[in-house]
Each structure stands twice: as structure tokens, then as C-alpha cells.
């Protein structure tokens, strides 16, 4: 499947409007899924199903939710992701902008870093496979 970035955004936007009950204009590339759009943990399952259906892709759980990294004592110390952990997150999620998170990489901040733009970047990597 070959889709332009705008086409990917439109489908991601449609999926998020449907899953989160938000308005089209709230779903901007800069909007964070949790903070701005109000996504709760169970919504991520819904979003995954909708993206899989919209793009005919498969989304393994660990690709969008790196819980195994964030709960691994090898990568987290005193609630903060270590440099090694950040490197692992970047390796796992090259499509995500982790710049803000790197400034204060507390584990509990991680849930709010993903933006709509990140999600579009992720989908782009999947439809290109």
C-alpha cells in the first residue's frame, strides 16, 4: 500500500475521532494522545484495532507500549529511565520524538509523550513494510 503523509494523517485522524470521541479539529499532529485528546489506557487497545483495520497492518503490543523497557531495572533507576534505557527506547521507537522526554525521563511521564504525529510516523513505517 502506498499512501501519502496526508492520507495517513486523515485515516489516523478518523480512527482517533472514532476511538476517543473527539472532534476532527482537536486531532492535530502536535496533539498528545493522553494529555490533549484524553486517551486512557483501554483506548490504546481500541486505537490499535482501528489502525490495524484502517491500514491493514499488524501492530504488536510492544511496539507502541514499551512496558517491558519501562519496567526493566536494567533500564530504569529510581523511577528514571537511564541513558541505556533511552537508547533502547529510541531503537524500539525510531518514529517517536523523544526529545521532550529526554529532558526529564521520569517513567510516569512517558505515557503522555506520544503525539498524533508520532502515531502517523509509526503507521508510515508499517505501511511501507
Instruction: Decide: 109 and 101 in contact? Cβ < 8 Å.
Output: yes
Contact mark string toward another protein, 33..52, x via CB under 8 A: ---------xx-xx-xx--x
Query: Which one, 36 or 46, has the nearer CB to another protein?
Result: 46
Quick check: 67 binds another protein (CB under 8 A)?
no
Half-sphere exposure of 6 (CA within 13 A, CB side): 0
CA distance 63 to 9: 19
Quick check: 18 binds another protein (CB under 8 A)?
yes
Total residues contacting another protein by CB under 8 A comes to 11
Query: Which one, 45 or 83, has the nearer CB to another protein?
Result: 45
Quick check: 63 binds another protein (CB under 8 A)?
no
Query: Which one, 10 or 52, has the nearer CB to another protein?
Result: 52
Query: Which one, 13 or 105, has the nearer CB to another protein?
Result: 13
Alpha helices, DSSP H only, in the chain? 5-20, 41-55, 61-64, 67-70, 83-92, 99-103, 116-127
CA distance 75 to 81: 6
At residue 119, φ and ψ (nearest 5 deg) are -60, -40
**Interface contacts to another protein, rule CB under 8 A:** 18-19, 42-43, 45-46, 48-49, 52-53, 61
Amino acid at each position: 500500500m502506498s499512501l501519502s503523509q496526508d492520507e495517513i494523517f486523515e485515516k489516523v485522524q478518523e480512527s482517533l475521532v472514532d476511538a476517543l470521541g473527539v472532534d476532527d479539529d482537536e486531532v492535530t499532529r502536535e496533539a498528545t494522545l493522553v494529555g490533549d485528546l484524553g486517551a486512557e489506557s483501554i483506548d490504546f487497545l481500541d486505537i490499535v484495532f482501528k489502525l490495524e483495520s484502517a491500514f491493514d497492518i499488524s501492530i504488536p503490543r510492544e511496539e507502541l507500549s514499551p512496558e517491558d523497557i519501562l519496567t526493566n531495572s536494567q533500564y530504569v533507576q529510581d523511577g528514571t529511565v537511564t541513558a541505556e534505557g533511552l537508547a533502547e527506547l529510541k531503537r524500539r521507537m525510531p518514529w517517536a520524538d523523544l526529545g521532550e522526554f529526554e529532558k526529564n525521563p521520569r517513567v510516569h511521564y512517558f505515557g503522555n509523550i506520544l503525539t498524533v504525529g508520532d502515531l502517523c510516523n509509526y503507521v508510515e513505517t508499517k505501511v511501507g513494510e
